[in-house]
Amino acid sequence: MKRLLSLTALAAFLLPIGAQAQDAQSIERGKQASMVCAACHMPDGRGSVVPNVEARPRITGLDPVYFVKQLQDYKSGARDNASMKPMATMLSDKQMQDVANYFASLPVVHDVAQPASEDMMKLGERLVKLGEWDRFIPACVSCHGAEARGAGANFPNLNGQPAEYTEQQLIAWQKGTRKNDLLGLMKPIAERLNENEIKALAAWFAAQPAQK
């Protein structure tokens, strides 16, 4: 009996170590596979903006399951982006998971946002935290979690994203050119936002600390 208990205790001790080793190996593989990501998203994953061309998002601080789904959607065409399609197509499902684990392991950093007016920031904060329920616009935090720092695999951390990226995505949801969200929730919400509100949301999120 004592021997059985000792073996059980040893197994309980070794399993986490094995899991940690697998995670470390996945992160290291992801680091190697992610080298092609650095040119657009920067080595630390903070994202970048090429004016009048493209805004590349911050890709740290995201749930790995959400991260993998976006890569799979780029690969399948469910989410359309001329830059990302060939990059995602290069990756196997295992490599996608490794890259997601690698970026999830990094500190969450972002560039300093361009200052916005006080009125614009107040409007953005109100929409994020309270919404406009009389216009059927729910608060962002109702899906994206406390302070919109992400909730599970379907609702990403929105903070610290380049304002240009958030604005582009809200317009894409609005126009229906992006439609890979859970239950099609974003299109009707984005359609009810006016141009000023979209800019206010983008400015507010860009100014927030990105770490969870």
> Per residue of the chain (212 residues), what is the pLDDT tens digit?
444 444 444 444 544 555 567 799 999 999 999 999 999 999 999 999 999 889 999 999 999 999 999 999 999 999 999 999 999 999 999 999 999 999 999 999 888 778 899 999 999 999 999 999 999 999 999 999 999 999 988 999 999 999 999 999 999 999 999 999 988 999 999 999 999 999 999 999 999 998 76
Question: Same CATH fold, 118-207 and 2-36+61-105?
Answer: yes
Q: How far apart are the first and last CA of the chain?
A: 46
Q: Does domain 2-36+61-105 have CATH number 3.30.420?
A: no
Q: What contacts 130, CB < 8 A, 6 or more positions away? A: 139
pLDDT at position 207 is 95
In this prediction, residue 212 carries a pLDDT of 60
This prediction's pTM: 0.87
* Half-sphere exposure (Cβ direction) of 132: Cα atoms closer than 13 Å: 13
On whether 144 is known to bind a ligand per the annotation, the reply is yes
Check whether 143 is labelled as a binding-site residue. Answer: yes
**Amino acid of residue 15:** L
The answer to whether 100 touches 204, Cβ cutoff 8 Å, is no
Cβ(99)–Cβ(33) under 8 Å? yes
């616009």: which residue's tokens? 137
Residue 186 labeled ligand binder: yes
Look at the domain 118-207 and name its fold: Cytochrome Bc1 Complex; Chain D, domain 2 (1.10.760)
Q: Confirm or deny that 121 is annotated as ligand binding.
A: no
HSE (CB half, 13 Å, CA atoms) of 201? 27
Give the separation between CA 144 and CA 207, rounded to whole angstroms.
17
Residue 120 marked in a binding site:
no
pLDDT of residue 114: 83
Q: What is the pLDDT of residue 203?
A: 97
Alpha helices in the chain (DSSP H): 2-33, 38-41, 64-76, 84-89, 93-105, 118-129, 141-144, 163-175, 186-191, 195-207
Say if residue 167 is exposed, middle or buried (CB neighbours under 10 Å; 0-12, 13-18, 19+): buried
Q: Give the start-to-end residue ranges of the domains of the chain.
A: 2-36+61-105, 118-207
What's the CA gap between 208 and 168, in Å, rounded? Answer: 18
The answer to whether 140 is a known ligand-binding residue is yes
